[in-house]
Amino acid sequence: MSFSSDTKNELVKVRNVSTAAAVCELMGAVAFGGRLRRDNGVFKVLTITENPKVARRIFQLMKDSASVVSKIKIHKTNKNNIFYHVYAENEDAVSLLINLGFIVKPSDINYLTTLRVNTEYIDKPAKMKAFLRGAFLTSGAVMSPDKKYHMEFATSSYGLHNDLFTVMKALGLKPRIVVRSGNMVIYFKNSEEIADILTLMGAYKVLMDFHNAKIIKEIRNNVNRTMNCEAANLQKMVDASMEQVAAINKLIEKNKFDTLPDNLKEVARLRLEYREHSLKELGEMLDPPLGKSGVNHRLRKIQEIAEKC
């Protein structure tokens, strides 16, 4: 099961504190998952979802908050994908649209082609959060944070996209927008913002899972960065040691090694014998001991002398 499914399965259990909030959640779900159909004289308001629990939530919201009798139909595509159609017909469909503020009077359906949100219904934070939850149930998706941080709401309607954008801004969010495959997509890639939205919608259990996955991901990334840094430093040390050994061997081949001062010969002999040791370790083996910078200075001096040979 996906992280999106887990989120929606938790959201359908959230209890609205008021009928007004329930209406706003249903408004969001119908607006972003709804379709208008006119077939053989039958007018339908159809809401589509792939999640059976979301379908039952919409069915129950229609009954409890909008006093509408709806039906659920299972539709299977040629690719064996299953969709759940929650729909209200004729008088029930018209009543639903009026109760949700999409139209004012029954005759308005003759001119209705797309759904737009009546923002006067969404005038308080509790209603905005419920509306956001409803919109996510039928148009939202969120990736598991152990993969990447991404949450989005998609709609083919510019008007609905603008309505949702306005509500999000009122809640203090900073949504970004992109057009993808003809859809307007509002998205978030900041982990803190995604956590804020989960909180606003009421997905507290998923929020804890999100934070835990985020912590594990950050620890893993920190470990990887540390290992990469250590590997890079080790490679630098190996490369430097090889260059130092090459310089010392050149002096030996040119019969110049014995002309070196005793302090340089002492370091050179240690480097030839302990090629994998760090400068600090070489310095500790000297008598008296020498610091890392002192050992480095002597080895650089040896390399300079070898370059002149």
Residue 192 lies in a domain: yes
131 and 17 in one domain? yes
Q: Quick one: tokens of 32? A: 């972003």
CATH no. for residue 198? 3.10.28.10
Residue 277 pLDDT? 85
The pTM of this model reads 0.71
Distance spanning both ends of the chain, measured CA to CA: 70
Q: Residue type at 123?
A: D
3-state DSSP call for residue 42? strand
234 and 190 in one domain? no
User: What is the per-residue pLDDT across 167-182, written as a single tens digit (0 to 9) for each?
Assistant: 999 999 999 999 998 8
Residue 195 pLDDT? 92
Residue 211 lies in a domain: no
Residue 80 pLDDT? 79
194 and 222 in one domain? no
Residue 96 pLDDT? 93
223 and 198 in one domain? no
Task: Please give the angle made by the CA atoms of 271, 274 and 280, to the nearest 5 degrees.
Answer: 75
Choose the final residue of a domain: 175, 202, 229: 202
Helices 125-139 and 52-66, interaxial angle, to 10°? 140
What is the number of domains present in the chain? 2
Task: Please give the angle made by the CA atoms of 238, 240 and 242, to the nearest 5 degrees.
Answer: 70
Domain that holds residue 160: 3-202
Residue 198 lies in a domain: yes
Residue 1 pLDDT? 67
Choose the final residue of a domain: 168, 202, 236: 202
Residue 30 pLDDT? 95
13 and 161 in one domain? yes
Beta partners for 84?
49, 74
Residue 12 lies in a domain: yes
Instruction: State which residues of the chain have pLDDT below 70.
Output: 1
Distance CA 167, CA 135 (A): 11
